[in-house]
Amino acid sequence: MTVIDQTSSQTATETRPGGGQPMAPPAQWQRPGREQEINVGQRERAVSVAAGSIVALLGLSRRSIPGALIASLGGAMIYRGATGRCPAYESLGVDTAHGEGGGRLQGRTERGIHIATAFTINRPPEELYGFWRNFENLPRIMTHLDSVKTLEGGRSHWVARMESMGGKRMEWDAEITRDEPNKLISWRSLPGADVENVGQVRFQPGLGDRGTEVHVEMDYMPPAGRLGHWIASLSGDNPKRVIREDLRNFKRLMEIGEILTIIGQPHGTCTGQGKPYTESRWKPLFT
């Protein structure tokens, strides 16, 4: 079932109790035919040139055979950024260039990232729905969210921060597209969003006394294209992992009332004088 496609979805859901069907990415994001050679989106081209330059310099500075290989990889990234043509995308049938600039999800052909994950939480659906429905609670469990403000008419304003992009601030407005108390909440971002997204959370009674199954599904457009998504994945900001961790935080908070941390505990330095433990989420791969 497509979340965006509200008009046709209602009857479909009713025939499937619990709405257990996996959510397909919106049809509009699928690639049209491959008519032109340019197959890399504008923003992704810029990222590609920038990242390629860094990789090439890293490679060249090594002055070794592996270094040369790394440099040529960087060169390939600069090439695809400069020309907008990516042989790898071509062979995979991916196209991130066409339909860009439409603004709305509906107007775009770029493929989004689809995430689906589930947890069983040992609490009744009413309690879980009640917490989630007040979106202003969500920054307590979602590490990347700075704040959520509820506006009028089922709308809300979201502010997030991506550590892997130097703490870049991203904002969007969202509206609720479906709201079935204690069962389901669907939302989508409104035009002008920094991160366009649609999503849905379902609360479904588990078997026996197993509490509630919470299923979250999301489609979102990575702000820097698929390459940006890939870089974010390397740095630990892998969206699938982030959503899973957020949902696990939800489970922790609902079941035990707090989210355990180790930040601030004692830690050694091996130099004779320890200090409180710190940890940055942003961990570059090559250090």
* The one segment of 21-29, 150-158, 166-174, 268-276 that binds other proteins by CB under 8 A: 268-276
Decide: 82 and 89 in contact? Cβ < 8 Å.
no
* The one segment of 13-21, 39-47, 173-181, 254-262 that binds other proteins by CB under 8 A: 254-262
> What one-character DSSP code corresponds to residue 257?
S
Any idea what the Cα angle at residue 86 is, between residues 82 and 89, rounded to 5°? 150
Of 169, 275, 281, 283, the one binding other proteins by CB under 8 A: 275
Indicate whether 284 belongs to the interface with other proteins (CB under 8 A).
no
Residues ≥6 apart with Cβ < 8 Å to 220: 112, 113, 115, 195, 196, 197, 198, 199, 239
Q: How far is the CB of 168 from other proteins (least distance, A)?
A: 22
Query: 264 by DSSP, 3-state: which?
Result: coil
Q: How far is the CB of 122 from other proteins (least distance, A)?
A: 6
Q: How far is the CB of 86 from other proteins (least distance, A)?
A: 29
Extract the runs of DSSP E, i.e. beta strands, from 209-268: 212-220, 266-267
Of 8, 15, 91, 261, the one binding other proteins by CB under 8 A: 261
Indicate whether 234 belongs to the interface with other proteins (CB under 8 A).
no
Of 14, 166, 167, 263, the one binding other proteins by CB under 8 A: 263
- At 199, which amino acid appears? G
Rg of the chain over all Cα atoms, to the nearest angstrom: 22
Residue among 27, 24, 2 at smallest CA distance from 13: 2
* The one segment of 57-65, 147-155, 183-191, 270-278 that binds other proteins by CB under 8 A: 270-278
- CB nearer to other proteins: give 33 or 276: 276
Burial 27-63 (b: 16+ CB within 10 A, else e): ebbebeeeeeeebbbebbbebbeebbeebbeebeeee
Of 11, 152, 266, 286, the one binding other proteins by CB under 8 A: 266
Indicate whether 208 belongs to the interface with other proteins (CB under 8 A).
no
Contacts with other proteins by CB under 8 A lie at 120, 122, 210-211, 241, 244-245, 248, 251-252, 255-270, 272-277
